[in-house]
């Protein structure tokens, strides 16, 4: 059926509202501050027959967009005609649904007039990062894990709810395997509340406009996104571009992992070929193919923001990933460090597009979560805890402005958790949380500054893990700009300094009350030659105390 | 004997005035162009236009956008910030967010630049325990450094000061000793709540706008005094209540939404008086569409607002959702060829294409004009009449919208109005459904110059039973000024589990809030008929960081009552409760409201015609659903009380135009409101 322009605009706005309401519900009802304060989550709508993404909520992590599509498609493939109204599927298995085990996805079919046997019209899905999934290390970021079995509990796509009835034994089994079951259960309930909210809202929209129009709009929105993307690609000169980047190491031994890609632009088509990338790693620095693809799309979207992100925008982009490489590894490998690899993939895509569309892309950003996990027993509050802290760093200098200081990493829109809330929940004390002087890469437009955090364990015994990167291979500068400073971490135990041999990765550092962790995050790369930076800009930075004489080379 | 209450809303474009004489019942309105160079000039002119003598005025209640503009245009005070050692970059760090989800560039300039943020050695933990005593020398040393940088206002914001404000208070004493001034702001006084960035930001915004608001109010009062005015000027706050100028000078952050809040308060009053306490207030002006939900006669409130990127303000404000859809909003096609409205606006200058002042992009007003809904020869403010050019509007709609979409100019205009209506309806749906409420249970109150043009369509889109169009849609915010109650809000974070709650503490906090509220109301001296107190708590299951606001009937509630109230509220929001999880009371909130005596607005209703036909001005071709049809035009203010008319019809009045489509009908109620309904 054909749709008039007005109805299409209205339905598009309506769909955006459905996912936004799901975002709000999940965030507000969640228990772990990783979701409620940092928004490490996503909500979306997917097509009924193909599982392709229709739209995703604005508050979540963009990178999940392609991953929830893959998860929905996996449910479709495995369960096919056994998908019933009132079902909700749960999955965290990376080999089918992408990211690390902490990301639990819920997927629910949406039926029109389910009671009257109406057809399935869509899927609603969400993801929330759970604070813990068992495994060797509190919080699940084991940097030395060599197989997935060390990383925690793995759940294939199974029914959490069948025809509206919760699978209680399954829930009890999951909760028996995690360190903080109360939060896991609370987050699960929040995810269900979000699916309910989405279904209610979608029903209003479909009742109003009719199922046929709804389905026609979904198809039409995809077509238009594809057209828009093609328009953007056509504006780039045809050609072959190359770029590569490195992950510091694999968490087990200290040799770099290479991510290399070739971009071929021809007319309105783009082809990415990741030949030349390292073999899959023996440690957890691996990126399942569905996530690699998702990261590529998000990186493109950071450059072409005007293109709405749905399955249509994926069509002009072809991706080729060598099997057995770290961007398309075999099943069963450890994946806990996927986010770091994913961000490096995004850096490569940005580096490629920077050559193809020079004025549209900023220099390299901090591009690491630097996930710091502290887990132990809190004697004051008398409970076991897992504190997951992930950091911000500098954004890259851009074509018209300096980089943003203390920016969230580009895979997500995650926010920082307030120090006052972290101190309220865990036995930690922040001695400082401040701008890291001199960390920005010099350039006509300098990078943004990274951060320096000093965290003291107040009481009890704990184990700390850092899953970070960019300690050795720093955020790149563009067009003569200099790289930003890299990650540094120091543990001060009993007054003794400990710097991890792998620089940005370490697990199971034991701590006791009074010990401290100093984490310094990367600054962004500079854009353009440092000599072109106006003296007034340098003087202003000096006055504000964010650079010293050393930085400016004076 | 002074007996006239006057409400004045001074906006960027117009200054609106309304007055009611409490003894004679006489009332009137006036609307003049604002005078940005000296806002009080327009106020005095509006008073003259209404033939009011300053001696006869009892009080002037004022709604203003000065604070908002000061913030948005970054024209505020030079501020300094004292933080806990190690946290100087609290503003610059934000919550780490980017301005946009997609795109990796962005610029952020904090309201206080880094060289004016100084660190003080001190530390308190989450329980309020002092870990490091305040190093007083640090505070003393800060003073000359701040003065050297020309600082006019200082914010003191230490970690966990909501739990123990002693260090902030002592720092203020030291600052005052060395540098006596009125602009020292403590985060623990502005907002004793956790989340250090939001608390600091709120305190900084307060300091940033405080001197400007103070100067503005001082000069406004001085001007009125020089003209012989002896009485008070009071201000509408963002929470919809009135406060005295003295309070406003200290708690300036509370004036940010003063103007829009006044409009909502009018909607609250009008909908209640008309017998529909569940209402949706819709103010559609030139650039924006402001929506607020009113449930059971109370406007919904929110505790956090972000007026611009990374500048959160966490004080209770009327929860007004603003979208860029006004008469001046520009219609355009996005890259995918989808018709969009706003958020860009043609504003007052150049204005819509039909103004013929150089605007080239079609707006919602151009579409309404082409559809025949607006009279091309009708002026808005007194003395500023000019005619609108239909052909200009038609050409722009054809060129920019019609041709690319394959639509005729009229079809294009129709599409523009429909998409605008849907956008507005969408935001109403959002604000109601977000709270678990069905918009169909609500009555629309549509005002602002453009609101009555779209009210019927929005009403139908949302399947609402009715819409109210106030007597003077274009001066409704001024009307809200004279109807608002005196109101003060208090909050205190306590963070206690319900099963371990210190009930004495709870009662003490509520009692102290109530005492301060009553004292403020007494000091302000604005006559009130009664004082009402509302006790609320921000509650959550242990571990959750977002709360649901739970209302208690009394301050001396027991555990069962608190649990019951929380679970009921939680169920409404999330469709379930979670058994066996501990419940936490995060913060206690108290609202102390001085209820003003009811005003009689009958005097506003102008002399009307005896028969409907006498109010009829003529007939015009107006397009509905793509077909132009002869449509009767009425003089709104001559419609007799109780008159009923069926659509299609257009009602004109100096400050607005009401459209009644063929499927709707309207009646005039006793208070002069129009009530729109769908024809049976």
- For B234, residues 6+ apart whose C-beta sits below 8 A from its C-beta are B59, B60, B61, B62, B242, B243, B244, B245, B524, B526
pLDDT confidence of residue B277: 94
From the list B581, B579, B583, the residue with the least C-alpha distance to B562 is: B583
d(CA B676, CA B658): 10
Do the beta carbons of residue B375 and residue B652 sit within 8 Å? yes
- For B101, residues 6+ apart whose C-beta sits below 8 A from its C-beta are A58, A62, A413
Please determine, for residue B525, whether its predicted confidence score (pLDDT) is greater than 80.
no
d(CA B581, CA B578): 6
Cβ distance of A434 and B87 shorter than 8 Å: yes
Segments in chain A below pLDDT 70 = 1, 5-6, 97, 553-554
Comparing B344 with A296, the larger pLDDT belongs to A296
DSSP A523: P
DSSP B150: T
Cβ distance of B338 and A228 shorter than 8 Å: no
Report the residue from A183, A197, A231 with minimal CB separation from B335: A231
Give the distance, in angstroms, between the CA of residue B471 and the centroid of all CA atoms in the same chain. 20
Q: Between residues 336 and 355 of chain A, which touch chain B (CB distance below 8 Å)?
A: 350
Give the distance, in angstroms, between the CA of residue A126 and the centroid of all CA atoms in the same chain. 14
N-to-C CA span, chain A: 68
Q: How close, in Å, is residue B254 to chain A by CA atoms?
A: 24
Cβ distance of B103 and A305 shorter than 8 Å: yes
Cβ distance of B339 and A9 shorter than 8 Å: yes
Is the CB of residue A410 less than 8 Å away from at least one CB of chain B?
Answer: yes
DSSP B254-276: GGTTHHHHHHHHHHHHHHHHTT-
- For A234, residues 6+ apart whose C-beta sits below 8 A from its C-beta are A267, A268
d(CA B8, CA B30): 10
Q: Name chain B contacts of A365, Cβ cutoff 8 Å.
A: 104
- For A421, residues 6+ apart whose C-beta sits below 8 A from its C-beta are A33, A37, B194, B195, B545
Cβ distance of A407 and B96 shorter than 8 Å: yes
The single residue listed with the structure tokens 């000091």 is B523
User: Helix, strand, or coil here: B232?
Assistant: strand
Report the residue from B100, B495, B578 with minimal CB separation from A424: B495
Cβ distance of B546 and A420 shorter than 8 Å: no
Please determine, for residue B513, whether its predicted confidence score (pLDDT) is greater than 80.
yes
Which two structure tokens, joined as six digits, stand for B481? 């000024």
Q: Any bridge partners for residue A464, and if so which?
A: A374, A509
Cβ distance of A186 and B98 shorter than 8 Å: no
Q: In terms of CA atoms, which chain B residue is nearest residue A56?
A: B101
pLDDT confidence of residue A94: 86
- For B317, residues 6+ apart whose C-beta sits below 8 A from its C-beta are B238, B239, B256, B257, B261, B301, B302, B305
pLDDT confidence of residue B247: 86
Is the CB of residue B406 less than 8 Å away from at least one CB of chain A?
Answer: no
Which two structure tokens, joined as six digits, stand for A134? 């068992």
Is the CB of residue B97 less than 8 Å away from at least one CB of chain A?
Answer: yes
Q: In terms of CA atoms, which chain B residue is nearest residue A62?
A: B101
Q: Name chain B contacts of A406, Cβ cutoff 8 Å.
A: 89, 92-94, 96
Q: In terms of CA atoms, which chain B residue is nearest residue A221?
A: B336
Cβ distance of A406 and B93 shorter than 8 Å: yes
pLDDT digits (tens, 9 = 90+) for B185-226: 999 999 988 899 999 999 999 999 999 999 999 999 999 999
A258 vs A344, B241, B389, B411, CA distance in Å? Answer: 9, 62, 65, 57
The CA-CA-CA angle for residues B267, B269, B273, to 5°, reads 115
Q: In terms of CA atoms, which chain B residue is nearest residue A403?
A: B105
Do the beta carbons of residue A472 and residue A505 sit within 8 Å? no
Do the beta carbons of residue B240 and residue B267 sit within 8 Å? no
d(CA B43, CA B32): 8
Do the beta carbons of residue A36 and residue A416 sit within 8 Å? no
d(CA A155, CA A181): 16
pLDDT confidence of residue B384: 53
Please determine, for residue B381, whether its predicted confidence score (pLDDT) is greater than 50.
no
pLDDT confidence of residue B383: 46
Q: How close, in Å, is residue A532 to chain B by CA atoms?
A: 20
Which two structure tokens, joined as six digits, stand for B258? 């003063």
Sheet strands (E) in A144-254: 158-162, 165-166, 239-247
Average pLDDT for B356-383: 84
Q: In terms of CA atoms, which chain A residue is nearest residue B117?
A: A544
Which two structure tokens, joined as six digits, stand for B479? 């009307």
Cβ distance of A395 and B106 shorter than 8 Å: yes
Q: Name chain B contacts of A401, Cβ cutoff 8 Å.
A: 105-107
Q: Between residues 75 and 94 of chain B, which touch chain A (CB distance below 8 Å)?
A: 85-90, 92-94
Q: How close, in Å, is residue A351 to chain B by CA atoms?
A: 13
Do the beta carbons of residue A474 and residue A484 sit within 8 Å? yes
Residue B39 CB coordination number (10 Å): 20
Do the beta carbons of residue B587 and residue B537 sit within 8 Å? yes
Is the CB of residue B309 less than 8 Å away from at least one CB of chain A?
Answer: no
Residue burial A436-472, b: 16+ Cβ < 10 Å; e: rest: bbbbbbbbbbbbbbbbbbbbbbbbbebbbbbbbbbbb
Q: In terms of CA atoms, which chain A residue is nearest residue B547?
A: A28
Sheet strands (E) in B47-189: 57-64, 79-84, 117-120, 123-124, 130-132, 153-157, 184-186
Which two structure tokens, joined as six digits, stand for B597? 């005596």
Q: What is the number of residues in chain A?
A: 554
Mutation target vs B (from A7, A12, A13; most B CBs, 10 A cutoff): A13
pLDDT confidence of residue B344: 87
Sheet strands (E) in B43-126: 57-64, 79-84, 117-120, 123-124
pLDDT confidence of residue A378: 97
pLDDT confidence of residue A14: 83
B238 vs A351, B76, B143, B430, CA distance in Å? Answer: 47, 18, 33, 21
Q: Name chain A contacts of B96, Cβ cutoff 8 Å.
A: 392, 406-408, 414-416
Cβ distance of B102 and A13 shorter than 8 Å: no
Is the CB of residue A168 less than 8 Å away from at least one CB of chain B?
Answer: no
Could you tell me where the DSSP H helices lie in B184-291? 187-190, 196-226, 245-250, 258-273
- For B115, residues 6+ apart whose C-beta sits below 8 A from its C-beta are A543, A544, A545, B149
- For B148, residues 6+ apart whose C-beta sits below 8 A from its C-beta are none
Q: In terms of CA atoms, which chain B residue is nearest residue A305?
A: B102
- For A53, residues 6+ apart whose C-beta sits below 8 A from its C-beta are A44, A45, A46, A47, A65, A66, A68, A69, A309, A310, A311
Cβ distance of A182 and B581 shorter than 8 Å: yes
Sheet strands (E) in A71-201: 88-91, 103-111, 120-129, 158-162, 165-166
Cβ distance of B160 and A186 shorter than 8 Å: no
Residue burial B416-448, b: 16+ Cβ < 10 Å; e: rest: bbbbbbbbbbbbbbbbbbbeebebeebbbbbbb
Please determine, for residue B73, whether its predicted confidence score (pLDDT) is greater than 90.
no
Q: Name chain B contacts of A430, Cβ cutoff 8 Å.
A: 86
Residue B306 CB coordination number (10 Å): 12
Please determine, for residue B349, whether its predicted confidence score (pLDDT) is greater than 80.
no
Cβ distance of B336 and A14 shorter than 8 Å: no
Q: Between residues 279 and 308 of chain A, which touch chain B (CB distance below 8 Å)?
A: 301-302, 305-308
Cβ distance of A28 and B546 shorter than 8 Å: yes
- For B222, residues 6+ apart whose C-beta sits below 8 A from its C-beta are none
Q: Between residues 458 and 517 of chain A, which touch chain B (CB distance below 8 Å)?
A: none
DSSP B511-560: HHHHHHHHHHHHHHT---SEEEEEEEEEEEETT-SS-EEEEESSSS--HH
Q: Between residues 23 and 62 of chain A, which touch chain B (CB distance below 8 Å)?
A: 24-25, 27-33, 36-37, 58, 62
Do the beta carbons of residue B186 and residue B210 sit within 8 Å? no
Q: Name chain B contacts of A393, Cβ cutoff 8 Å.
A: none
DSSP A278: P
Helix (H) or strand (E) holding B493: strand B486-497
Q: What is the number of residues in chain B?
A: 680
Q: How close, in Å, is residue A39 to chain B by CA atoms?
A: 11
Is the CB of residue B106 less than 8 Å away from at least one CB of chain A?
Answer: yes
pLDDT confidence of residue B382: 44
Q: How close, in Å, is residue A254 to chain B by CA atoms?
A: 30
Please, is A534 exposed, middle or buried when counting C-beta atoms within 10 Å of its C-beta (0-12, 13-18, 19+)? exposed
Do the beta carbons of residue B419 and residue A7 sit within 8 Å? no
Q: In terms of CA atoms, which chain A residue is nearest residue B494?
A: A424
The CA-CA-CA angle for residues A237, A238, A243, to 5°, reads 90
Report the residue from B92, B426, B545 with minimal CB separation from A33: B545
pLDDT confidence of residue B1: 63
Cβ distance of B103 and A396 shorter than 8 Å: no
Helix (H) or strand (E) holding B344: strand B339-345
Cβ distance of A227 and B336 shorter than 8 Å: yes
Helix (H) or strand (E) holding B291: strand B289-295
From the list A362, A336, A305, A356, the residue with the least C-alpha distance to A478 is: A362
d(CA B215, CA B219): 6
Q: How much of chain B, in percent, has pLDDT values that exceed 70?
A: 98
Report the residue from B113, B194, B576 with minimal CB separation from A544: B113
Could you tell me where the DSSP H helices lie in A238-360? 289-303, 311-314, 338-356
């Amino acid at each position: 059926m054909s749709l008039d322009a007005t109805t299409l605009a209205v339905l598009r706005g309506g769909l955006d509202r459905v996912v936004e309401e799901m975002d709000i519900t999940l965030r507000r009802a969640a228990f772990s501050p990783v979701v409620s304060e940092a928004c490490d989550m996503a909500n979306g709508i997917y097509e009924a027959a193909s599982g392709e993404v229709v739209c995703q909520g604005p508050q979540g992590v963009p990178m999940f967009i392609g991953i929830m599509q893959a998860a929905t498609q996996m449910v479709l493939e495995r369960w096919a005609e056994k998908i019933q109204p009132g079902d909700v599927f749960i999955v965290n298995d990376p080999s089918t649904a992408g990211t690390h085990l902490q990301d639990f996805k819920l997927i629910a079919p949406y039926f029109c007039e389910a009671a009257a046997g109406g057809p399935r019209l869509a899927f609603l899905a969400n993801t929330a990062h759970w604070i813990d999934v068992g495994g060797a290390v509190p919080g699940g970021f084991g940097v030395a894990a060599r197989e997935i079995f060390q990383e925690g509990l793995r759940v294939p796509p199974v029914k959490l709810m069948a025809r509206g009835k919760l699978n209680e034994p399954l829930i009890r089994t999951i909760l028996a395997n995690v360190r903080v079951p109360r939060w896991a259960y609370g987050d699960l309930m929040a995810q269900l509340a979000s699916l309910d909210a989405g279904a209610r809202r979608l029903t209003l929209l479909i009742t109003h406009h009719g199922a046929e129009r709804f389905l026609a709009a979904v198809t039409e929105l995809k077509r238009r996104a594809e057209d828009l993307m093609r328009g953007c690609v056509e504006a780039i000169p045809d050609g072959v571009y190359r770029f590569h980047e490195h992950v510091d190491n694999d968490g087990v031994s200290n040799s770099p992992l290479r991510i290399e890609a070739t971009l071929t632009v021809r007319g309105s088509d783009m082809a990415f070929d990741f030949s030349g990338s390292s073999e899959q790693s023996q440690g957890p620095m691996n990126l399942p193919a569905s996530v690699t693809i998702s990261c590529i799309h998000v990186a493109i979207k950071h450059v072409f923001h005007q293109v709405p992100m749905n399955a249509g925008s994926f069509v002009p982009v072809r991706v080729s990933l060598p099997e057995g490489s770290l961007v398309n590894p075999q099943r069963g490998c450890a994946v806990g460090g996927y986010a770091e690899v994913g961000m490096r993939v995004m850096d490569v895509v940005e580096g490629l597009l920077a050559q193809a569309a020079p004025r549209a892309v900023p220099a390299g950003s901090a591009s690491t979560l630097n996930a710091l996990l502290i887990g132990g027993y809190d004697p004051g509050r008398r409970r076991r805890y897992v504190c997951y802290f992930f950091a911000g760093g500098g954004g890259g200098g851009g074509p018209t402005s300096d980089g943003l200081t203390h920016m969230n990493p580009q895979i997500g829109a995650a926010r920082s958790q307030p120090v006052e809330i972290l101190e309220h929940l865990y036995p930690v004390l922040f001695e400082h949380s401040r701008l890291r002087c001199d960390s920005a890469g010099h350039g006509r437009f300098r990078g943004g500054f990274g951060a320096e955090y000093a965290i003291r364990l107040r009481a009890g015994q704990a184990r700390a893990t850092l899953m970070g990167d960019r300690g050795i291979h720093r955020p790149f500068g563009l067009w003569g700009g200099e790289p930003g400073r890299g990650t540094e971490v120091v543990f001060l135990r009993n007054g003794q300094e400990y710097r991890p041999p792998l620089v940005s990765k370490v697990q199971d550092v034991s701590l006791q009350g009074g010990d401290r962790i100093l984490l310094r995050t990367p600054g962004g790369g500079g854009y353009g030659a440092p000599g072109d930076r106006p003296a007034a800009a340098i003087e202003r930075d000096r006055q504000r105390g964010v650079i010293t004489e050393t930085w400016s080379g004076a | 004997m002074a007996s006239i209450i006057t409400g004045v809303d001074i906006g960027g474009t117009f200054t609106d005035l309304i007055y009611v004489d409490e003894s004679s019942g006489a009332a009137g309105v006036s609307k003049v162009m604002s005078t940005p160079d000296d806002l009080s000039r327009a106020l005095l002119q509006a008073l003259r236009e209404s033939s009011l003598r300053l001696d006869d005025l009892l009080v002037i209640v004022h709604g203003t956008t000065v604070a908002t503009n000061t913030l948005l245009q970054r024209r505020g005070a030079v501020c300094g910030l004292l933080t806990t050692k190690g946290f100087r970059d609290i503003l610059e760090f934000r919550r780490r967010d980017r301005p946009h989800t997609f795109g990796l560039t962005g610029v952020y300039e904090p309201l206080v630049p880094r060289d004016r943020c100084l660190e003080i050695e001190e530390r308190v933990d989450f329980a309020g325990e002092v870990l490091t005593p305040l190093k007083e020398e640090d505070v003393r040393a800060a003073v000359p450094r701040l003065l050297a940088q020309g600082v006019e206002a200082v914010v003191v914001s230490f970690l966990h000061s909501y739990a123990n404000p002693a260090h902030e208070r002592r720092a203020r004493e030291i600052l005052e000793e060395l540098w006596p001034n009125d602009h020292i702001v403590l985060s623990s006084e502005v907002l004793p709540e956790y989340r250090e960035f939001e608390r600091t930001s709120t305190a900084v915004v307060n300091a940033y706008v405080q001197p400007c608001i103070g100067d503005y109010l001082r000069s406004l009062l001085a001007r009125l005094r020089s003209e012989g005015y002896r009485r008070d000027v009071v201000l509408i706050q963002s929470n919809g209540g009135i406060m005295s100028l003295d309070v406003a000078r200290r708690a300036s952050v509370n004036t940010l939404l003063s103007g829009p809040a006044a409009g909502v308060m009018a909607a609250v009053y009008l909908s209640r008086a008309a017998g529909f306490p569940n209402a949706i207030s819709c103010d559609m002006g030139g650039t924006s569409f402001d929506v607020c939900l009113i449930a059971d006669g109370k406007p919904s409130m929110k505790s956090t607002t972000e007026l611009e990127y990374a500048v959160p303000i966490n004080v209770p404000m009327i929860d007004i959702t603003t979208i860029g859809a006004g008469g001046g909003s520009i219609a355009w096609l996005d890259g995918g060829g989808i018709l969009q409205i706003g958020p860009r606006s043609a504003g007052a200058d150049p204005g819509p294409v039909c103004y013929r002042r150089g605007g080239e992009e079609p707006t919602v007003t151009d579409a309404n004009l082409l559809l025949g809904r607006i009279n091309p020869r009708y002026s808005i403010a007194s003395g500023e009449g000019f005619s609108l050019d239909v052909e200009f509007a038609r050409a722009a709609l054809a060129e920019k919208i019609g041709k690319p979409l394959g639509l005729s100019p009229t079809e294009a205009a129709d599409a523009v109005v429909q998409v605008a209506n849907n956008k507005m309806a969408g935001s109403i749906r959002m604000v109601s459904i977000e709270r678990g409420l069905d918009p169909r249970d609500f009555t629309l109150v549509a005002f602002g110059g453009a609101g009555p043009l779209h009210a019927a369509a929005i009403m139908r889109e949302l399947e609402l039973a009715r819409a109210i169009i106030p007597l003077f849609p274009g001066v409704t915010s001024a009307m809200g000024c004279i109807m608002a109650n005196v109101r003060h809000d208090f909050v205190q974070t306590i963070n206690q589990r319900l099963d371990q709650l210190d009930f004495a503490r709870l009662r003490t906090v509520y009692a102290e809030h109530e005492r301060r509220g009553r004292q403020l109301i007494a000091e302000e001296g604005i006559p009130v008929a009664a004082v009402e107190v509302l006790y609320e708590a921000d509650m959550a299951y242990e571990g959750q960081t977002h709360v649901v606001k739970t209302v208690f009937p009394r301050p001396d509630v027991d555990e069962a009552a608190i649990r019951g109230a929380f679970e009921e509220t939680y169920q409404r929001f999330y469709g379930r409760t979670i058994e066996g999880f501990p419940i936490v009371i995060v913060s206690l909130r108290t609202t102390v409201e001085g209820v003003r005596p009811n005003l009689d607005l009958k005097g506003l209703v102008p002399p009307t015609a005896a028969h409907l036909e006498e109010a009829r001005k003529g007939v015009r071709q107006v397009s509905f659903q793509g077909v132009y049809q002869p449509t009767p035009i009425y003089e709104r203010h001559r419609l007799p009380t109780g008159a009923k008319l069926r659509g299609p019809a257009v009602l004109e009045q100096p400050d607005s135009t009401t459209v009644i489509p063929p499927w709707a009908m309207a009646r005039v109620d006793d208070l002069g409101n129009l009530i729109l309904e769908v024809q049976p």
